[in-house]
Amino acid sequence: MSDIYEVNRETFDEVMLPNYAPLAEIPVRGDGSRVWDQHGREYIDFAGGIAVNCLGHCHPALNKALREQSERLWHVSNIWTNEPALRLAKKLVEATFADKVFFCNSGAEANEAALKLARRYAFEKFSADKDQIIAFKKSFHGRTFFTVTAGGQPAYSDGFGPKPSGIEHAEYNDLASLAALISDKTCAVILEPMLGEGGVLPAEKAFLEGVQALCKKHQALLIFDEVQTGFGRTGDLYMYQGLGVTPDILSTAKSLGGGFPIGAILTSDEVGKYLKFGSHGTTYGGNPLACAVAEAAFDIVNQADVLAGVKTRELEFRQALDEINQKHQVFSEIRGAGLLLGAVLKEKYQGQAREFVMAAGEQGLMCLVAGANVVRFAPSLIVESQDIAEGMKRFEKAVARVLAADKV
């Protein structure tokens, strides 16, 4: 595609705000689990656009849905409803605990809606001072001011003036620390069933059961942020389904659109009825293009063999990582679930996750960090075995490079 402007990485510094620091290469094309940059260099993609591209790049069924919908109807706003949104909502309701769905455009917006709904529910059903929200340290819920304040990393919410109040933080996987904070003034507890950004750390089942029991005792809503764990990522459509702990509100985004921006909250009639007419909204949310793509993604992801395939691929990943570790002794643990896996660096390599990810890039492999000590893998849910094998070969070379550089 040629134009009057030749753009490259320097163009970013010229015209984009500096809140991101993108890598030197600019991807221009993707196909399945492979990506090519401006110079024709090929990468294997184990990052998935940060756990988003659940069916890889340019999946034919998603392309078809997008193309067909783009020739029919793009946008009408929520003054009218639309067929793709209604079909997608029906499918999500049928496949989960939920009776009702609200669509938006991102994970942060989904959590924003979840928290506002919880506040409104408590305000109308109980009293104006049942407004406390409890979240967890090291968690991540998005970057709007409400959700970033709920997230457990003050570095992300400091320096923007007065924060939304009424939010407190307990220790993840520590029921006693929640028990010390929760009371009848609590309207909601929000958590990720597995910390994503916070290090790919699964919640313990007993912890989740305890959280749910405390919520019930204090009539607080339990919100699961499944923006990263959801939509097939862990081998269940939503992670809660494999845990046996059902939330009152669930937020979903990332993989839901397979690369097209969409988010949603799922909830029961009993809770959802408090998001009354006019109480909340978004112009783009649930627009026909996004919903058509998400519906096509749903039709593929929510198949027993595709979900089972996530678990077999998990084993392939774990085995390859174990082999790398036997050779190089770099990881203390491989943790996570399904195709959201974290290789935790040993004490000796603490703080170096970014070095491993950069070295992987040089070998033609895209992967992610999750904090400073964990290398994160969030590939396509249908990544092919040969791509896993080739990607791991490249990752091993990257590991060897980092270790060699460490020695000099």
Ligand X SMILES: *Cc1c(COP(=O)(O)O)cnc(C)c1O
Q: Which is nearer to ligand X, 256 or 320 (CB)?
A: 256
Q: How far is the CB of 39 from ligand X (least distance, A)?
A: 29
Cα 71 from chain centroid (whole Å): 30
Long-range contacts: 64-72, Cβ < 8 Å, 24+? Answer: 64/296, 65/292, 65/293, 65/295, 65/296, 66/260, 66/289, 66/292, 66/293, 68/292, 69/288, 69/289, 69/292, 69/293, 70/289, 72/288
Q: How far is the CB of 8 from ligand X (least distance, A)?
A: 26
Per-residue 3-state assignment (H helix, E strand, C coil) for 275-306 = CCCCCCCCCCCCCHHHHHHHHHHHHHHCCHHH
Q: How far is the CB of 337 from ligand X (least distance, A)?
A: 14
Q: Which is nearer to ligand X, 107 or 288 (CB)?
A: 107
| CA–CA distance, 366 with 356 (Å, rounded to integer) | 11
Q: How far is the CB of 253 from ligand X (least distance, A)?
A: 5
Residue that the structure tokens 């749910």 belong to: 212
Q: Which is nearer to ligand X, 108 or 294 (CB)?
A: 108
Cα 1 from chain centroid (whole Å): 31
Q: Which is nearer to ligand X, 62 or 324 (CB)?
A: 62
Long-range contacts: 278-284, Cβ < 8 Å, 24+? Answer: 279/116, 279/120, 280/102, 280/113, 280/116, 280/117, 281/78, 282/78, 282/103, 282/104, 282/105, 282/109, 283/77, 283/78, 284/75, 284/105
Q: Which is nearer to ligand X, 109 or 387 (CB)?
A: 109
Contacts of 345 (CB under 8 A, 6+ apart): 330, 331, 332, 352, 353, 356, 373, 374, 375
Would you call 97 helix, strand, or coil by DSSP? coil
Q: Helix 288-301 and helix 60-70: axis angle, to 10°?
A: 150
* Bridge partners, residue 264, by sequence: 103, 252
Q: Which is nearer to ligand X, 186 or 255 (CB)?
A: 255
Q: Which is nearer to ligand X, 113 or 275 (CB)?
A: 113
Tokens of residue 40, six digits: 């024709």
DSSP H helices, 141-236, are 145-150, 154-157, 175-181, 205-217
Q: Which is nearer to ligand X, 230 or 364 (CB)?
A: 230
Q: How far is the CB of 108 from ligand X (least distance, A)?
A: 3
Q: How far is the CB of 142 from ligand X (least distance, A)?
A: 4
Q: Which is nearer to ligand X, 150 or 182 (CB)?
A: 150
Length of the chain: 408
| CA–CA distance, 146 with 152 (Å, rounded to integer) | 12
Long-range contacts: 318-324, Cβ < 8 Å, 24+? Answer: 320/388, 320/389, 320/392, 320/395, 321/392, 323/392, 324/392, 324/395, 324/396, 324/399
Q: How far is the CB of 323 from ligand X (least distance, A)?
A: 29
Q: Which is nearer to ligand X, 59 or 254 (CB)?
A: 254
Q: How far is the CB of 154 from ligand X (least distance, A)?
A: 17
Contact residues for ligand X, defined by CB under 6 A: 106-108, 111, 140-142, 192, 196-197, 225, 227-228, 253-254
Q: How far is the CB of 228 from ligand X (least distance, A)?
A: 3
Q: How far is the CB of 83 from ligand X (least distance, A)?
A: 25
Q: How far is the CB of 107 from ligand X (least distance, A)?
A: 2
**Which single residue brings its beta carbon nearest to ligand X?**
107
Q: Which is nearer to ligand X, 225 or 248 (CB)?
A: 225
